[in-house]
Amino acid sequence: MKIIEEFTKSKLESGSHSEDGIYYNQHFVVLVDGATSKGNFKWQGKKSGEIAKNVVLEAFNEIKYDIKKNELIEKLNGMLRKKMQEIKIEESAILDWLRVSIVIYSDYHKKIWSYGDCKYIVNQKLLSKEKLIDTELAGIRSVVNRIYGVDVKELDIGREFIKPLLVEQYKFENTNHEFGYPVLNGYVKKLLPIIEVDVSEGDEIVFASDGYFNVKPTLNSSEKTLMDALKEDPTCCSLNKQTKGMMAGYCSFDDRSYIRFNI
């Protein structure tokens, strides 16, 4: 296994508090995207998405090389639950739960395991799918802003319109609903099936977070596509429809991480 290139960057110009992260050793390559909190909880200056990312990445220092997918995902989910109990996030405080999406390569099993909306490319072919609820809400935000015709940089009416829906979308977590989606959140123990992709020696693989709305087979092309889109559509309402756009103090609409490797 050979790492070709990797990159991770906070959406903040300060470079701090990224909720994305990458981990790799001789057994695993892992990309984690902590979910942006809809609550107000902070611990040691960090919000729940950043805390969750750190918990999961640190866990791989102790994960056995031959662990099976279900055991691994359940173990990570249990570690999130344990951390929430430690820092006093109650099960009733749903908006503050620690949540992550994750994509993993196991060199022992020669498998990619995905749980959530992280992106992955195998031999230049994108295999992951978008999260439908995000696509729908991004479209609603775009429509509302266009109807009112306001300067989104000054007043993002569309974002305000979908905020209550963003808060309530947790009701679709780990469900088989049309808008359901997988996410590790610690307290929900009944998880959806884990996506598994077989890979072979010689394959080239890319993992990326959804901070790359149009991920490409190389970092340079992914960055160029993103920067061109942000220059033309910084509010993320047309070319790159998102549930939020660039804001003051931001260098992108979301944290982003990318790693490309051969096996």
Tokens of 164: 């209550």
**pLDDT at 76 exceeding the cut of 90:** yes
What pLDDT does residue 51 have? 98
> Which among 17, 21, 35, 20 has a CA at the least distance from the CA of 170?
35
| CA angle in degrees (0–180, nearest 5) for 152-154-160 | 60
Averaged pLDDT for residues 189-203: 95
**pLDDT at 27 exceeding the cut of 90:** yes
Contact indicator for 41, 47 with CB cutoff of 8 Å:
yes
Q: How far apart are CA 163 and CA 157, in angstroms?
A: 10
pTM here is 0.94
What pLDDT does residue 58 have? 97
Contact indicator for 189, 104 with CB cutoff of 8 Å:
no
Q: How far apart are CA 181 and CA 70, in angstroms?
A: 17
Which residues have C-beta within 8 Å of that of residue 31, sequence separation ≥ 6?
A: 20, 21, 22, 102, 103, 118, 207, 208, 209, 257, 259
Q: Residue 150's pLDDT band (boundaries 50, 70, 90)?
A: confident
Domain boundaries of the chain, sorted by first residue = 2-262
**pLDDT at 153 exceeding the cut of 80:** no
Which residues have C-beta within 8 Å of that of residue 195, sequence separation ≥ 6?
A: 112, 113, 114, 115
Instruction: Name 7's bridge partners.
Output: 258
Q: How far apart are CA 149 and CA 165, in angstroms?
A: 22
Mapped onto helix, strand or coil, the DSSP state of residue 195 is strand
Condensed to tens digits (0 to 9), the pLDDT of residues 217-245 reads: 999 999 999 999 999 999 999 989 999 99
What pLDDT does residue 151 have? 76
Q: Residue 30's pLDDT band (boundaries 50, 70, 90)?
A: very high
**pLDDT at 188 exceeding the cut of 90:** no
Q: Residue 197's pLDDT band (boundaries 50, 70, 90)?
A: very high
Largest CA distance in the chain: 55
Averaged pLDDT for residues 190-210: 97
| Residue 193 CB neighbours (<10 A) | 10
**pLDDT at 247 exceeding the cut of 90:** no
Q: How far apart are CA 147 and CA 139, in angstroms?
A: 12
Mapped onto helix, strand or coil, the DSSP state of residue 205 is strand
In CATH terms, the fold of domain 2-262 is Phosphatase 2c; domain 1 (3.60.40)
What pLDDT does residue 231 have? 94
**pLDDT at 52 exceeding the cut of 80:** yes
Q: How far apart are CA 259 and CA 8, in angstroms?
A: 9
What pLDDT does residue 221 have? 98
